[in-house]
Amino acid sequence: MINWGLTCFFENRRQLIKVVDLARTYPMLKYIEIRGERPFFSPEDLKREDIKFFRTVIEKSGLAVTLHATFYDINLSTINSYLRKANLQCYKTYLDLAQQINAHIMVLHGGYMHYDMVGITSLRTMARNNLIENLKILGDYAAERNIFIALENSPPNRYHLMVKDWQSHKRILKAVNHPRVKAILDIAHAHLHRLDISRYYQNIKNYLVELHVHNNDGKSDLHTAIDEGTIDYQKFFEQNTIDVPVIMEIRNISEAIQSLRWIKRIES
């Protein structure tokens, strides 16, 4: 039986509570993922009483929690030494926040290279080495807080992505070689790169601590309901045995409910 989880693109506390309440109707929900972005959940904005509120809501829900750290205005592969220090400090702050809400997994993206630097071997090597070293540093910091870091594959954009397929994903993780730095496979992101999602899963599964699922039209990162798009999730789950939490990253509450009803149908 799969341990399902859910996040929505929260903008206020009311939406969080609605998602938590869904667990009463849909007992297959075991996890909630908090999206660590402004305007809802960011270390820059949260006061002590805010964190206490979130911790109380989560504890009362009985759900396990994971935290998706920011991917706005940040690049873990930057070759700029000043920005690199700031990025590390940012993610350490998010790990502190993850500990405060009892999250045991923190998701982050591997970053990118500017398209003008991709053809320069020395800069490409520097970016990759920075990513590897940064993940080792954050892995040590996470270990002290009993948290796993989950490196996620990114959706397409105009920059050169450090993690977009299973080959790059696996190479980075093998180079990091840290017991607290693992993988998360976002199936919909892989689909946007026109990759074989089952092949990706089979090649990365030994590193996985979490899966992300949502759907799209094959062109844009829409985060629609599981059954609302071009990904055949029923086929994927029939072909693969999943033993890590599966988090649904759905864009709104109504499509989250649609996804939960779909799960209920296929599991019955």
Number of neighbours of residue 169 by Cβ within 10 angstroms: 24
- Tokens 């909630």, residue located: 32
Q: Cα 207 to chain center, whole Å?
A: 14
Backbone angles phi, psi at 240, to 5 degrees: -130, 140
What are 47's two structure tokens?
């006061």
Are 190 and 165 in contact by the 8 Å Cβ rule? The answer is: yes
What are 236's two structure tokens?
């994927």
Rounded CA-CA distance 122/234 in Å is 44
What are 242's two structure tokens?
């999943």
241 contacts: CB under 8 Å, gap ≥ 6? none
- The reply to whether omega before 39 is within 30° of 0 (cis) is yes
The full set of domain ranges for the chain reads 4-267
pLDDT by residue for the chain (268 residues), tens only, comes to 899 999 866 677 888 888 889 998 999 999 999 999 988 899 999 999 999 999 999 999 999 999 999 999 999 999 999 999 999 999 999 999 999 999 999 999 999 999 999 999 999 999 999 999 999 999 999 999 999 999 999 999 999 999 999 999 999 999 999 999 999 999 999 999 999 999 999 999 999 999 999 999 999 999 999 999 999 999 999 999 999 999 999 999 999 999 999 999 988 8
Specify the pTM: 0.96
Q: Where are the beta strands (DSSP E) in 2-157?
A: 4-8, 29-35, 64-68, 105-109, 112-113, 148-152
Q: Could you tell me which of 65, 33, 24 has the C-alpha nearest to residue 249?
A: 33
Helix/strand/coil for 167: helix
Rounded CA-CA distance 111/176 in Å is 15
Its CATH class, for the domain covering 4-267, is alpha beta
